[in-house]
Amino acid sequence: MRPTFGHVAALALSIAAASCSESSAKEPPRGPGQGLAADNTGHNVRDRDGELPTPFDQGESETDRRITQAIRKVLSADSTLSLNAKNVKIVTVNGAVTLRGTAKTAREKSTVESAAKAQAGVTQVKNLIDVEQP
């Protein structure tokens, strides 16, 4: 059986979570304004509540994968964005995009949202990105 995108993503996240568990045990999670841990541990704790979509919820249709990939490509190519803004979580399900993570400024948050809205096939964008600076 050939693994699907979801299987590959789940495996990658499992590996990443295992490698972060040692560092998160040494340093308590910090929230916005308190200097987020480099591995976004504070946000990852929030992800576990089951209320908000996580990468595990990513739609497996060709359209959903294409939308997510296109947004990531635009963000990666934007030299004005911080590393955190380039690495926000992007989850697309049936054309509805959820953005989560941290941006340094409100301008970055807006830029990421605009990149998502500009993609063909996007029906809705839910921007849950936290801003470090007002």
Number of residues written out for the chain: 134
Handedness of CA 93, 96, 102, 108 (dihedral sign): positive
**What is the rounded distance in angstroms from the CA atom of residue 87 to the CA atom of residue 39?**
11
Q: Where are any strands of DSSP class E within 44-111?
A: 89-93, 96-103
Strands 96-103 and 124-131: parallel
Q: Is-above-0.95 flag for pTM?
A: no
Q: What is the pLDDT of residues 37-67, one digit of tens each?
A: 555 566 556 556 566 777 766 777 899 999 9
Range of the domain at 118: 5-131
Q: Look at the chain and report how many structural domains it folds into.
A: 1
Distance of alpha carbon 122 from alpha carbon 104, whole angstroms: 25
